[in-house]
Amino acid sequence: MNTAPSGPAPEDSSGAGPARPDAVAPPPPATPGERGPGPGEQFCHLYRLRDGAGAEYDRRHAEIWPELSRLLDEAGMYDYSIFRRDTLVICVLRTRAGFDRARTVTGGSPVQARWTASLADLFAEIADADGEPLWAPRVFRHAGPPA
């Protein structure tokens, strides 16, 4: 796992006007020194792989370390998916106790350090100049009718 977490009401993609109130994006991601996404909030960040590294990135994630899975659970990460198109990697997840706690747990872990080091040669870009993840703010959400 590469740890690392949205703006005004979005327009409905149908062109019918503003989206429903429940489709409003959460607040923008935290900047350094501010609180990150809280418990249960979905967030997304991006990575860029080096050209030609996609197949190896996929292979390594198909063989995820059991100790890394346990660390993600300990950090309270869930509903975690990684998508990839060519060199673009899209990570979407939620946390049980907020992003800041998850980052603290994973950031202090030797398992996380080894995992990150094992992937370092595959990445072209993983953070901004301040070391923050490359956040992808939500611009639209359709929650659908209540269950």
Catalytic residues: 61
Residue 36 burial (10 A CB sphere; 0-12, 13-18, 19+)? buried
Closest CA to 1 of 101, 87, 126: 126
Q: Please provide residue 17's backbone torsions phi and psi, each rounded to the nearest 5 degrees.
A: 115, -165
Q: What is the DSSP string of 46-114?
A: EEEEPTT-HHHHHHHHHT--HHHHHHHHHTTEEEEEEEEETTEEEEEEEESS-HHHHHHHHHT-HHHHH
